[in-house]
């Protein structure tokens, strides 16, 4: 058996079958609400599969859940047809599911309901229950597994000599606990012990994040993390498991955790495939050297030839906000049409002059205004002041928004943008503390500050690159 492996990892493809929607407000509003390019998901997934099939060096493909958007059978059948295309070409395919992949039938907290989107509304359609998933995807993981935990549908596959992949399926309750229960955790520990006894390295994959991309995520939405993430981290550290691949946040992020003894692990979270800046990961492991190399691979065009970013970016909130601002300043009707489903357009409709005034004012703001507000203007060099005076504040804000999902935001501590915006945040920190503004204090993680929260969005303060990392599984 060879001792090198290479695989692609795809997460959150959120496939929506073209059979379950027609153009209209219901699907458009759902697309806006979900913040992913739902209508284009077949063309996105097909473009990636074409790319994978063209790569003869990589024989394995891993999918880590939210494979379809709404648990409906039609989208699952379409998704499985894509898996068949991969296996027919000789690829090994391993799949786990997550909360978007089934509809709750009262057995847990999952509230998804499968529907067809008509021109004017929705109508119920056939769907998969959680209990259907194991059989439906049996050929894509469980059949090849060397160990299966039937209750959770989790399993272990041998990627190559010396390397195992543990696919931890979502065995939670569909919302507030998305992780293994006690029995599953015992199974996982046994699987890690077996691997250790065999002298094999272990990689983990699961849907929900173990380390959040930003601390404010843990603070505001801890239930969105892997249920029992602290126990999972402890298990990884004690069995020297260096990496868990996750999804769910739709954010490209590589974060490292180390304990006081210096033991460490990484959470490699991959952006949703259905994002305008979506990517898949390509992972290689050499069992002899112990080196694991992770890169990211995107596409330029959808399978029908449309350019990806140009087509998809205007669909979701970072792109819509960029387009809304000039419309609010100049074309109120177009502003309301574009904002439908995203903004409270019923309330805004009564205030065309106010909206127009606010948008025009916002367009004129310069970064220098932020620097002055943040009391850092006097400290700036002449060249920095010139740059701040010439830079539109909205462009900086759009820059931050554009990097929320793809990571690697560009405003490092040396930049004028960083100096000006953290100046404002530091001033707000002082105001919040002095005036005891309870609502703002509740938003800030204990021991943290608005400056620290903002830094997470200004530049990569995680491992330095959300797209790539190379490390030794041995260290």
SS (H, E, C) 57-94: CCCEEEEECCCECCCEHHHHHHHHHHHHHHHHCCCEEE
Q: Identify the burial level of 26 via C-beta atoms within 10 angstroms of its C-beta, where 0-12 means exposed, 13-18 middle and 19 or more buried.
A: buried
Distance in angstroms between the alpha carbons of the first and the last residue of the chain? 24
Of residues 98, 292, 324, 419, which one binds Fe ion by CB under 5 A?
Answer: 98
Q: Find the helix or strand (DSSP H, E) in which 282 lies.
A: strand 280-286
Which residue stretch of 64-72, 227-235, 373-381, 427-435 sits at the interface with Fe ion (rule: CB under 5 A)? 64-72
> Which residue lies nearer to Fe ion by CB, 245 or 335?
245
The residue range among 23-31, 95-103, 168-176, 448-456 that interacts with Fe ion, by the rule CB under 5 A, is 95-103
Q: Sort strands 253-258 and 291-297 into parallel, antiparallel or unpaired.
A: unpaired
Build a one-symbol-per-residue string for 4-23: x at contacts with Fe ion by CB under 5 A, - elsewhere: --------x-----------
Does position 248 interact with Fe ion (CB under 5 A)? The reply is yes
Least distance (Å) from Fe ion to the CB of residue 86?
Answer: 21
Q: Is the dihedral of CA 174, 175, 180, 183 positive or negative?
A: negative
Q: Is 66 in the site for Fe ion (CB under 5 A)?
A: yes
Of 63-71, 73-81, 355-363, 426-434, the window that binds Fe ion (rule: CB under 5 A) is 63-71
- Cβ nearer to Fe ion, comparing 12 with 417: 12
Residue 46, token pair as written in the block: 């097909």
* Of 61-69, 80-88, 209-217, 254-262: span binding Fe ion (CB under 5 A): 61-69
Nearer to Fe ion, 92 or 218 (CB): 218
- Nearer to Fe ion by Cβ, of 59 and 66: the residue is 66
* Residue 394: φ, ψ to 5°: -65, -35
Question: With contact defined as beta carbons under 8 Å apart, do 226 and 210 qualify?
Answer: yes
Q: Judged by CB, which is closer to Fe ion: 248, or 279?
A: 248
Site size toward Fe ion (CB under 5 A) is 4
Q: How far is the CB of 36 from Fe ion (least distance, A)?
A: 7
Chain-centroid distance, C-alpha 300:
19
- The smaller minimum CB distance to Fe ion, of residues 224 and 322, is found at 224
283 near 246, Cβ under 8 Å?
no
The answer to whether 163 and 200 have CB atoms below 8 angstroms apart is: yes
Helix, coil or strand: residue 259 = coil
202 touches 243 (CB < 8 A): no
Residue 169 binding Fe ion, by CB under 5 A: no
Q: Answer yes or no: are the C-beta atoms of 404 and 318 closer than 8 Å.
A: yes
Q: How far is the CB of 38 from Fe ion (least distance, A)?
A: 11
What's the min distance (Å) between Cβ of 15 and Fe ion?
A: 11
Binding of residue 93 to Fe ion (CB under 5 A): no
Looking at beta carbons only, is 66 or 466 nearer to Fe ion?
66
Contact region for Fe ion (CB under 5 A) — 189-197, 243-251, 289-297, 323-331?
Answer: 243-251
Nearer to Fe ion, 45 or 450 (CB): 45
170 binds Fe ion (CB under 5 A): no
The yes or no reply on residue 177 touching Fe ion (CB under 5 A) is no
Strand 115-117 and strand 122-124: pairing? antiparallel
Task: Pick the piece of the chain touching Fe ion (CB under 5 A) from 109-117, 139-147, 248-256, 320-328.
Answer: 248-256
Q: At what angle do helices 317-330 and 332-339 cross, to 10 degrees?
A: 160
The footprint of Fe ion (CB under 5 A) covers 12, 66, 98, 248
């Amino acid at each position: 058996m060879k001792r090198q492996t290479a695989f692609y990892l795809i997460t959150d493809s959120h496939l929506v079958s073209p059979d379950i929607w027609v153009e209209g407000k219901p699907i458009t509003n759902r697309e806006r609400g979900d913040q992913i390019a739902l209508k284009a998901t077949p063309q996105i997934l097909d473009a990636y599969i074409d790319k994978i099939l063209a790569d003869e060096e990589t024989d394995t493909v891993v999918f880590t859940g939210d494979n379809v958007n709404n648990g409906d059978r039609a989208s699952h059948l379409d998704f499985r047809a894509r898996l068949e295309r991969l296996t027919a070409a000789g690829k090994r395919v391993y799949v786990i599911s997550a909360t978007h992949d089934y509809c709750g039938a009262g057995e847990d907290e999952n509230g998804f309901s499968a529907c067809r989107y008509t021109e004017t509304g929705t109508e119920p359609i056939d769907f998969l229950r959680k209990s259907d998933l194991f059989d439906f995807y049996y050929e894509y993981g469980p059949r090849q597994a060397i160990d299966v935990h039937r209750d959770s549908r989790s399993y272990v596959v041998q990627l190559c000599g010396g390397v195992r992949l543990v696919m931890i399926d979502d065995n939670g309750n569909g919302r507030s606990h998305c992780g293994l229960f006690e029995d599953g955790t015992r199974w996982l520990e046994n699987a890690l012990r077996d691997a250790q006894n065999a002298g094999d390295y272990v990689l983990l994959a699961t849907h929900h994040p173990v380390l959040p991309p930003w601390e404010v995520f843990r603070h505001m939405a801890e239930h969105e993390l892997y249920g029992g993430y602290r126990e999972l981290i402890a298990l990884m550290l004690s069995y020297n498991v260096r990496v868990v691949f996750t999804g769910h946040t739709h954010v490209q992020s590589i974060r490292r955790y180390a304990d006081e003894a210096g033991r460490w692990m990484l959470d490699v979270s991959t952006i949703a495939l259905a994002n305008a800046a979506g990517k898949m990961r390509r992972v290689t492991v050499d069992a002899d050297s112990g080196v694991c190399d992770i890169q990211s691979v995107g596409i330029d065009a959808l399978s029908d030839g449309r350019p990806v970013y140009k087509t998809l970016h205007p669909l979701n909130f970072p792109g819509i906000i960029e387009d809304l601002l000039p419309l609010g300043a100049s074309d109120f009707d177009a502003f309301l049409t574009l904002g439908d489903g995203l903004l409270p357009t019923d309330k805004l409709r009564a205030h065309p002059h106010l909206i127009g005034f606010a948008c025009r004012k916002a367009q004129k703001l310069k970064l220098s205004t932020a620097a002055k507000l943040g009391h850092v203007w006097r400290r700036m060099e002449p060249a920095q002041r010139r740059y701040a005076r010439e830079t539109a504040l909205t462009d900086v804000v759009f820059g931050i928004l554009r990097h929320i999902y793809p990571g690697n935001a560009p405003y490092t501590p040396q930049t004028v943008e960083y100096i000006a915006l953290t100046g404002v945040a530091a001033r707000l920190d002082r105001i919040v503390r002095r005036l005891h503004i309870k609502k703002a204090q509740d938003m800030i993680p204990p021991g943290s500050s608005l400056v620290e929260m903002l830094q997470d969005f200004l530049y990569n303060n995680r491992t330095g690159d959300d797209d790539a990392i190379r490390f030794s599984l041995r260290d």
